[in-house]
Amino acid sequence: MRSHRVGDRRGFALLVALAALVIIGGLIVGAFFASTQEFRIGRNTVLQSRAMTSAEYGLNSALRSDVWDQSWNNNTSAGAILLTKDFDAGDGSGGTLRIVNLGNENYLAVSEGFSGSTASAQGRKRLGGFLKLRKPKFKFLGAVTTKGDIKVTGSTEIHGEDTPPTEWLDCPPPDSALPGLAYSPSTPPQIQCSAKNCVTGNPPSVPLADADNPDTYNLFGDLKYADLAAMADKTIPGGKTFTNLAPTFKTDSLGKVYCVRTDTSNWGDPTHAYPSPACRPYFPIIHVKGNLKLTGGAGQGILLVDGDLNASGGINFYGPVIVKGALSVTGNGSGARFVGGVMAENVYLDDNKVAGNAVVSYSSCAVNKALNGSATPMFDRSRGWIEMY
């Protein structure tokens, strides 16, 4: 009878319990939904911010010396993708950096930043940067420009005609000729060379007020001599002597040959005397904090000498040479050859002399390649930064 009674009861507890469960479940779902929404929005904001900073990191890394290959500076292939490089921003985000050559020494860096590791939660941002080369502008008044005395003797030749280096086959057509010698009106040159036309150019020699102007030797476009020195790839203490300058190479396990740029005596390969082309695009800025003596070998780039430069032994140098002291070339039939342009600012006006078997010839190609090759990239500050969609 007891079991019969229990079975017959019509309670509402179950119904109430179910209803309560539904309501509580609804509350939990509602709260969970709200917090999930907040979490997702917050997470997406963080992911977007990280992707943005990652993209900026990648974009700015284009300027780093270990990313920017200075051989690109002389690359004339417009449209070529020079670099595709994945990067890791270090906070779990990363991306890809591409650098495209636009020609005319202009480049476009496109950095795509990513954040988030799951497919359902990822941030992406793409930024662009218009890069151009930051390089000095040399105002060569002649193949040799000096404010001090200049003495030309022996078998020396100075040519102001624009002469591309014979080893370089990709030079543009020559520009118009410069004077062979540009000198201060107050200090006429002493030309006592053995050859009849040892100094040529348009005109062969000319007194110019600008040769007396200190800015000619110190201001190179928007860069000063000190700025150039600060940009130097090689800083050499004064009093150093280099004998037989030559490029150095390294071969990796796959047989690829690299140019060892850290070697102090590797100043590139201007004469293309080595089978590997690895050092041919290497145009270092070399800053010597005092006197320098070069005996034999070859180098290219921009040579800045705070003191005197003594060259002999058949040394070849292609590119601009700025000497704060005296340029002295000596040698019995094996002096030196400077292709590009030479400027010597000498406070001791009677110290400049070019003697022996020396050849100084103006070459806009050698100057421009050295300037380009040693130039560093910079973002165009007025319109360089772009947000890409």
Partner 1 sequence: MQLRENAVLERSIRKNGRRGVTLIELMITLVLLGIVAGGMMQIIVRQQKFYNGNSSVLGTRSNVRQGVAVFQSDLRAINPLTDVYSGQMTSTSFEFREPRGSSVVCAIDGGKTTIVVPPPALTNGAGLTSWVQAPQVGDSVLFYDTNTRAWVAAGVEITGSQPTQGSGTCIGLTPLVDAVRGWKFTVNTSAGPGVTVGSPVRFFRKARYELKQAADNDWYLAYRDCSPARSPACSDPQPIAGPYLPPDNSPPGLEFGYFDAAGNPTTDPTQLRRIDIALRSQGSIQIDMDGRAKGLYRDSLKTSIAVRNFQ
**Least distance (Å) from partner 1 to the CB of residue 353?**
39
**Least distance (Å) from partner 1 to the CB of residue 102?**
4
110 touches partner 1 by CB under 8 A:
yes
* Tokens, residue 242: 């280099």
State the number of binding residues for partner 1 (CB under 8 A): 44
CA dihedral 7, 8, 9, 14 (to 10 degrees): 60
45 touches partner 1 by CB under 8 A:
yes
Token match 């947000």: residue?
387
21 touches partner 1 by CB under 8 A:
no
177 touches partner 1 by CB under 8 A:
no
If the CB atoms of residues 63 and 102 are measured against partner 1, the closer one turns out to be 102
Q: Which of 2, 3, 8, 120 binds partner 1 (CB under 8 A)?
A: 8
Give the N- to C-terminal CA distance of the chain in Å, as an integer.
81
If the CB atoms of residues 34 and 260 are measured against partner 1, the closer one turns out to be 34
Residue 235 falls in which region: left (phi positive, over 0), alpha (psi -120 to 50) or beta: beta
Binding segment for partner 1 (CB under 8 A), chosen from 2-10, 187-195, 256-264, 349-357, is: 2-10
Residue-by-residue DSSP string for 2-61: HHHHHHH----HHHHHHHHHHHHHHHHHHHHHHHHHHHHHHHHHHHHHHHHHHHHHHHHH
Site for partner 1 in 301-360 (CB under 8 A): none
381 touches partner 1 by CB under 8 A:
yes
Q: Which of 46, 67, 83, 98 binds partner 1 (CB under 8 A)?
A: 98
387 touches partner 1 by CB under 8 A:
yes
**Least distance (Å) from partner 1 to the CB of residue 6?**
12
Quote the CA–CA distance of 327 and 224 in Å, as a whole number.
21
| Helix ranges restricted to H, the chain | 2-8, 13-61, 214-218, 225-230, 364-374
Binding segment for partner 1 (CB under 8 A), chosen from 15-23, 223-231, 237-245, 338-346, is: 15-23
**Least distance (Å) from partner 1 to the CB of residue 76?**
11
Q: Which of 18, 78, 226, 260 binds partner 1 (CB under 8 A)?
A: 78
31 touches partner 1 by CB under 8 A:
yes
34 touches partner 1 by CB under 8 A:
yes
2 touches partner 1 by CB under 8 A:
no
* Tokens, residue 21: 């469960």
Which DSSP letter does residue 111 get?
Answer: E
CA angle (306 as vertex; 357, 231 as ends), nearest 5: 110
124 touches partner 1 by CB under 8 A:
no
**Least distance (Å) from partner 1 to the CB of residue 389?**
5
Cβ atoms of 235 and 287 closer than 8 Å: yes
